[in-house]
Amino acid sequence: MSLKQQITDDMKAAMRAKESGRLATIRLIIADIKRKEVDEQIELNDTQVLAVVEKMIKQRKDSISQFEAGGRADLADIEKAELAVLSAYMPAGLSDEEVAAEVAAAVAATGAAGPQDMGKVMGVLKPKLAGRADMTVVSALVKKALTGA
């Protein structure tokens, strides 16, 4: 079953169970997916759906930090609830050791020698690690590996 179909089935289940918070979040996911499909006039595959969910997760994390900095715990709690629902659709994350091993392998495979080769290494890693690792952390590891710092 595709991820898009699973999200639709989860929406139906949330409607039957009268889980309004979960239902609202799932509807946001579906709306974002449909918006992207209409804008680009394509049918999204699982990888593209994951990218949409990943973007939504990043937005929620940013909002949580902003709300907590502003002393709005009530709004931060809403965002945290949405984040929990969104996270359920992401594949299992890689451990720090696994990410470091992938970075080392990509650096070796591309023959990267310095910071100017960061784009090459990230180009190899992004398809492999998207959705399974925080790309900000991956980018920092690549930079560290290429600069020797």
Round to whole Å and give the CA distance between 34 and 29.
9
pLDDT mean across residues, the chain = 87
C-alpha 64/C-alpha 136 separation (Å) is: 18
CATH topology for 3-87 is Hypothetical Protein Yqey; Chain: A; domain1 (1.10.1510)
- Cβ burial of 85 (10 Å; 0-12, 13-18, 19+) is buried
pLDDT score recorded for residue 105: 84
Hey, which residues does 130 pair with through a beta bridge?
133
- What is the CATH number that goes with domain 96-147? 1.10.10.410
Provide the residue ranges of all domains of the chain, joining segments of one domain with +. 3-87, 96-147
pLDDT of the residue at 75: 94
Question: Above 80 in pLDDT, residue 113?
Answer: no
* Better-predicted residue by pLDDT, 68 or 136: 68
Instruction: Give the global pTM.
Output: 0.71
Fold: same for 3-87 and 96-147: no
